[in-house]
Amino acid sequence: MHDPAMHGPAEKKLRPARTNATRQKLFDASMELIGQRGAAGVTVDEIAAAAGVSKGTVYYNFGSKSDLIAQLLRHGVDILKARLLSEAGQPGADPLVAMEAMIGQAMDFMDDYPSFARLWVSENWRTPSEWRDTFAVLRSELLAVIGAAIENVAAVYPVDETVLRGSLETAIFGACFVVGLDRQTYNPERTRDQSVAAIMAIMRGYVVK
């Protein structure tokens, strides 16, 4: 019997469309289960069953549960990055407006993938975490996108140079996750625009009047 799990990484690359479709199904199924019980409480069998694929398919595409979670984190961050970059703004556009649109995209992402946001917040600062290296890489990529948007603001507006750019990036980054999750969990009456305005207050405080 043909066993796809016996083939190596080189063959996997021959089927990108299949792999991408499988990854999205596994991402959706995993986020639902992880949102209910946390990453540690979910098995590969459960993820495979929820995604409608065999356990062998999971191992074929990802290798292990740990690798699956790591690659699903990457998948989620790629979705978020694409949304943020879509609002980066055109040359000559108001960078504060572009930043506001990016934060709006982040809020929409939290609404679309609340379990991913919970996984990120619950595991990102856990010590030790088996995905620490993965989080470090993905975090730096997202901070770079936010940092570039801050640089665009500083190129057009007078800003408070006593504020460390790295700390500002982290403040906006963390606020997007925390405000988004807090709205879903404790304050569903708050609107998307109210949440965006609260986070934008950080940026508007950075601009010197």
Residue in the structure block whose two tokens are 């809020």: 107
- Of 175, 193, 195, 197, give the one whose Cα is nearest residue 183: 195
Tokens of 150: 């801050």
Q: Which of 7-11, 88-92, 115-119 is predicted least confidently?
A: 7-11
The CA distance from 111 to 27, in Å, is 15
Question: Global pTM?
Answer: 0.84
Phi and psi at residue 126, to the nearest 5°: -70, 135
% of residues, the chain, pLDDT over 90? 58
Give 32-62 pLDDT, tens digit per residue.
898 888 888 899 999 999 999 999 888 887 8
Comparing 2-6, 19-23, 44-48, 178-182, the range with the smallest average pLDDT is 2-6
Quickly count: other Cβ atoms within 10 Å of residue 188's Cβ. Answer: 8
Q: Burial letters for 21-39: b for 16+ Cβ neighbours within 10 Å, e otherwise?
A: ebbebbbebbbebbbeeeb
In the prediction, which pLDDT does 129 show?
A: 81
Mean pLDDT: which of 17-31, 88-102, 114-128 is highest?
Answer: 88-102
